[in-house]
A and B are shown apart, each in its own frame.
Chain A
Amino acid sequence: MKVSFQALSRHLDLAGVTADRVAEVLPMLGLEVESVTTFGLAPLPLVVVGEIKSFDKHPKADRLSVCQVDVGDGAIRQIVCGAKNFKAGDRVPVALPGTVMPGGFAISVSKLRDVDSAGMMCSSEELGLGKGEDGLLILTPRQPALGTPLNALFGAPDTVLEISVTPNRGDCLGIRGVARDLAAALGLTLKPLAVKTAAGFASAPSAADAVKFVRSSSEFCPYYTLRTLKNVKVGPSPEWLRRDLEAAGLRPINNVVDITNWVLLELGQPLHAFDAKKVSEGIEARPAREGEEIVLLDGKKVKLETGVCVIADAQRPLVVAGVMGGVDSGVTESTTEVLLEAAWFRPGEIRRVARRIGVSTDSSHRFARDVDPAGVELASRLATDLLIELAGAQVAGPAVAVGKPPRADVTIELPAGYVAAKLGTPIADADVNAAFARLGFTVKPSAAGFSVLVPSFRSDVTRPIDLVEEFIRIHGTDKVPAGRPIAPLPGDEDALTSVFTREISARLVGAGFTECCHYSLRDAAELERTLGADKAALVAMDNPLTAEQTHLRASLVPGLAGALALNLSVHADPHGLFEVGTVFRPQADGTVREFISVAFAIVAEPVTRSWKSREAFDALRAKRFLQDAAALAGVASVRLSFAAATGGLWQADHAATLVDRGRAAEGACGVLDLRWTRSLGLKSSVIAGEVCFPRSAFAEARKIPRFEAFSSFPPVTKDVAVIVPLDIAAAEVESRVRQGASKAAGKEFALESVNCFDVFTGPGLPEGHRSLAFEIRWRHAARTLTDEETNQALGVVIATLEKGAGWTVRR
């Protein structure tokens, strides 16, 4: 919304108030000023009218002319000029040496390609008057006297403030609304609006009207008015009207359209003008019928959704109500009778329809923000005044109104002391009421405190809390002191997701990993790789903006692999990278679940050379990270099982998936699919790991561990080695060892640990077999175990193991 200082001055006496002051005050009222620009000619005392007496071609430059210019001071000045659009005898603006042009360029006596030049002749653009015709601004038709300062010709410049109006302040989409707020803030009085056209409506058209009927049968149009204006002479608008529209960023069209636009800017009430001759019989605001179409003013043909409100004549829809008119009923040069519409439409519906059609007009923007029903008549009368004055129109009689204003002024019961209580600082009710009076609200004492009558132009003020905002806007937020000191609430703890994120991040940073942050929105190819095509479709968005960001991420690993590649490509050693964040995974029941994911990735071969080599990061080290992360999230290692991973992001035979019996964790670790990582430009293989926890895993507070007593007697350890076929997983053998060792301990003593300490394949073993060796440790709570007991226990373990098909215990 562009508001000029001159426009505001029509409604307020701004003597002694600068535009800068206005630009300071408005933001603190909630009217953010986005830009302040000069409209018109800035003060340029040294730019005067001159006449080009004669000119010659520049001796050294084909495109330049050497002009002899008279500015009326008795001397002829030589000025070099690059423009072509002039002839001898033309009067043009001349910037004399010492001028600083609006763009900051200083004019001085100089030489241009060795020819003296004593000033500059100016174009419209150079003077800050906007883009005019190419070349010099030719003033000849205006017949100005030589030496006249250009400012005398163009009048004083104006300042235009571009205001960002929040959705609640529909009233400030008209200049008078902004002026009203400014008046309240500065303690000024709003000038009354002088309107000559009489108030009052007829309930049906008379013989003098150009229509036979005016009706509304749409629930979205509770209030509709239409006025007939005859003998209208359509033509260009006067200078002041054109100027006002241009200052507000609108293009003048003709006097009738310009008047409706001017009133819209002035009061915020959109109007519509029909060519009465193009309207068949009458006007009705009605629901669109099935299959109806309309060609809008912008040339777009729109199929109307059944039921949307249209303004129609007896035959066809003419306007999408409140949004945009059609091409074939508007005012043109040949129009002589005008039907002037002023109405009120339901805001939500206008917004919905405008979005659906895909247009936003000055009209729909305002109707969607609830225009003042009481302003409908005023706008119609003001526009009628101007149509009479500027287009010679004659009024046939009163306007016709159907329906009635849907809202009226609102009375709010404000309890005494309410505002002070909400502010948290003492404020006298008298001060509060004075602020309301400045805003045009009427305050009366009532039983509970005060009755505040809020005029209908403020549709956003309906409750006591809204009055608090009104008060603080006028009173100033800087007068509210900082509040009471606060004591924490006992027993309140951070969400466990947050605690976990912090702790796991700290650990990974300590282990040398650098945290990354990738976009959550990924492309289809990545999701298909991660989840497979079927499941990828389940995390696709409905209205993505770009082809690169169409899906929700299901894994953090692809982002990290990409980051490794990026860093290596710029010769930065990434070391290890990690990320903690939300991923989205389709579930068996068809839902998509959010998981808190922790992932890391590192290239297997060191990037930076070192004088001393270290053991490379491998899949089983990644496994340890996953187990530790799970433990931190409250998922004990014993609940986790690992199995060989197949496909997707992971390299077959070199990666594992992780499954939690309690379904509170899932993940994978190992080498990333080598063809994929190579395609990213990564030469070395990449080791990665990811473990994800559903939000529900963090729902319950962690248990505080209880102390368990331990034995003070020494343990006994026994080793057992078993030869098993290669396809038997180590976990299966270990589990069998545990089973036997626990059974052997029974209730008398306890199995303390089983630890795989050797894996061997090679000479001495049968083909297709390997040997796994375990150290078993037992302990008694109350005494030292005897040799006999432990030998017997070992026997049980051996017997258990040898039940496995093709399993042999080495002796």
Chain B
Amino acid sequence: MQQQLAQLVAAATQEASAVATRAELEAFKARVVGPNGSLTQVMKGMATLSKEERPVVGKLINEAKKSVEELLAVLLVKVENAEIAAALGASVDPTLPSPDAPAGSLHPLSRTRERILASFRKLGFVVADGPEVETEWHCFDALNTPADHPARDMQDTLYMPKAFRSADAPRKADEAILLRTHTSSVQVRTMLSRKPPFRIVAPGRCFRRDAVDATHSANFHQVEGLWIDRNVTLADLRGVLDFFVKETFGADAEIRLRPSFFPFTEPSFEMDLRSPNLGRLSNRWLEIMGCGLVDPKVLELCGLDPNEWSGLAFGLGLERIAMLVHGIDDIRHFYNNDTRFLRQFA
């Protein structure tokens, strides 16, 4: 009996080496441990043994059974591995490059814009917008810059023909339609459409009748800010701008407010920035933005009572900030769209 079992296990082991598929495995399993399998037959023979022989033989059968089960387990892993290899194909060389294009990138102006908006959001400013083609009233008159005000000389404006009608900026009377020269027109639209208090930032495209060179562009981007509330002060303006500059240019950046003139703010300032981290522009006062307290006349023109409401406003050039932050020396790079430029800021 012992010899018979040993032969059986040896035969099964030998036979197992030929098993490659799941079907062969099932057939092999049936031949050994199935109802008519060789091992099953031996186990059935136990009944004919004497009381004394049974424990001895039983032990031998158990050992043989254990060997066969181990054999089957090994075979199952082998068969499964073969199946997986068949399903997945050849192995992957993980050191090969991915054939897919990498993620794209945001334009440096968008990136700068989002960074600026994020810092103002922390101060409770939300984004507002308005049309790029505007009425003269929204762009100038409502901002306390009537026709023949010398402040109109500060910028040269692109106009649409008299016959032009904008669906987004309908005329109030027969005023000219123009390409907005600043995002300050969004101040006007916001004051007319919302109830104070509010704080908004308005990023957007502006246009001037300027020849294109390294620092001028026929269109450019601004971010406008407006805070209307009761008792808004110059200290608030300084607080807001100081926060923005430290967020954008680092904690060691400083600002100064240099008195200036805009028709829509009083008092008006140019905000200068000085930072040790701006390459060859480090440690110099650089003009960054115009700002001031909203002129009471503007509040009035936009339907707010200047005795109740006050405000602060500021406007900065996105290109200027992006150029300073990234050390870009020519504004035309932003509009050339050479991906060797665009992808540097990913």
Contact = CB atoms under 8 A, between A and B. Distances in A.
A575 interface: yes
Contacts of A253: none
A465 B104 contact: no
7 contacts: A32-B260, A477-B238, A482-B238, A514-B343, A515-B106, A540-B161, A567-B339
Contact of A594 (B131, B160, B162): B131
Contact of A552 (B124, B133, B240): B133
B101 interface: yes
Contacts of B149: 167, 348, 351
Interface string A567-595: 10010111111100110100101111110
B114 interface: yes
A505 B199 CA distance: 25
Nearest to B114: A502
Nearest to B132: A582
B160 A695 contact: no
B109 interface: yes
B133 A515 contact: no
Contact of B261 (A168, A514, A552): A168
B124 to A, nearest CB: 3
Interface string B98-109: 011111111101
Given A541-B158, A592-B166, A520 B233 contact: no
A788 interface: no
A422 B234 contact: yes
Contacts of A590: 165
A27 B165 CA distance: 43
Given A495-B127, A505-B106, A593-B168, A423 B150 contact: no
A566 interface: yes
A758 interface: no
A548 B238 CA distance: 42
A512 B166 contact: no
Given A478-B256, A509-B106, A520-B219, A592 B335 contact: no
Contact of B148 (A349, A494, A497, A578): A349
A472 interface: yes
A592 B165 contact: yes
Contact of A517 (B121, B210, B211, B337): B337
Contact of A494 (B126, B167, B235): B126
A759 interface: no
B84 to A, nearest CB: 22
A299 B336 CA distance: 44
A611 interface: yes
Chain A interface size, as a band, is 35 or more
B6 interface: no
Nearest to B287: A32
Given A542-B159, A574-B339, A514 B132 contact: no
A483 B239 contact: yes
B198 A489 contact: yes
A575 B101 contact: yes
B123 A576 contact: no
Given A423-B235, A574-B339, A592-B164, A477 B106 contact: no
Interface residues of B, number: 91
B302 interface: no
Interface string B318-344: 000000000000000011111110110
A79 B240 CA distance: 65
A549 B218 contact: yes
B110 A515 contact: yes
B143 to A, nearest CB: 14
A594 B257 contact: no
Interface in A169-185: 169
B237 interface: yes
Contacts of B343: 514
Nearest to B266: A465
Contact of B103 (A510, A521, A695): A510
A389 interface: no
Interface of B: 96-97, 99-107, 109-110, 114, 117, 121, 123-124, 126-129, 131-133, 146-151, 153-154, 158-162, 164-168, 179, 197-199, 203, 205, 207, 209-211, 217-219, 231, 233-240, 242-243, 256-261, 266-270, 293, 295-296, 310, 334-340, 342-343
A584 B207 CA distance: 15
B165 A351 contact: no
Interface of A: 27-30, 32, 166-169, 347-349, 351-352, 368-369, 421-425, 463, 465-466, 468-469, 472-473, 477-478, 480-489, 492-495, 497-499, 502, 505, 508-521, 538, 540-546, 549, 552, 559, 563, 566-567, 570, 572-578, 581-582, 584, 587, 589-594, 610-614, 694-695
Contacts of B114: 502
Given A482-B238, A581-B205, 10 more contacts: A167-B150, A167-B153, A167-B261, A348-B149, A351-B148, A494-B126, A512-B103, A514-B343, A593-B166, A612-B99
A512 B337 contact: no
Contacts of B259: 28-30, 469, 472-473, 477
Nearest to A365: B150
Given A472-B234, A477-B258, A487-B124, A614 B100 contact: yes
B101 A347 contact: no
Nearest to B233: A424
A633 to B, nearest CB: 15
Given A351-B150, A423-B234, A169 B261 contact: yes
A570 B340 contact: yes
Nearest to B343: A514
Which of B218, B234, B266 counts the most A-chain CB atoms under 10 A from its CB? B234
A612 B98 CA distance: 9
B342 A516 contact: yes
B260 A30 contact: yes
A695 B131 contact: yes
B150 A368 contact: yes
Nearest to A493: B126
A513 B107 CA distance: 11
Nearest to A549: B218
Nearest to A477: B257
A571 to B, nearest CB: 10
Contacts of B296: 463, 465
Contact of B99 (A351, A422, A567, A610): A610
A789 B61 CA distance: 59
A620 B218 CA distance: 36
Contact of A505 (B110, B197, B233, B268): B110
Given A483-B238, A492-B198, A541-B160, A498 B127 contact: yes
Nearest to A609: B99
A587 B159 CA distance: 20
B217 to A, nearest CB: 8
**4 pairs of A and B residues whose beta carbons are closest in the complex:** A424-B233, A424-B235, A488-B124, A469-B267
Contact of B339 (A473, A545, A572, A610): A572
Nearest to A31: B259
Contacts of B238: 477, 480-483
B104 A421 contact: no
Contacts of A574: 339
B132 A520 contact: yes
B196 to A, nearest CB: 10
B207 A521 contact: yes
Given A167-B150, A492-B124, A614-B100, A577 B166 contact: no
A572 B340 contact: yes
B103 A545 contact: no
Nearest to A473: B259
Given A422-B293, A494-B127, A593-B167, A517 B107 contact: yes
A702 to B, nearest CB: 15
Contacts of A563: 337
B148 A484 contact: no
Which of A28, A30, A493, A513 counts the most B-chain CB atoms under 10 A from its CB? A30
A590 B154 CA distance: 33
A515 B158 contact: no
A499 B129 CA distance: 11
A574 B101 CA distance: 10
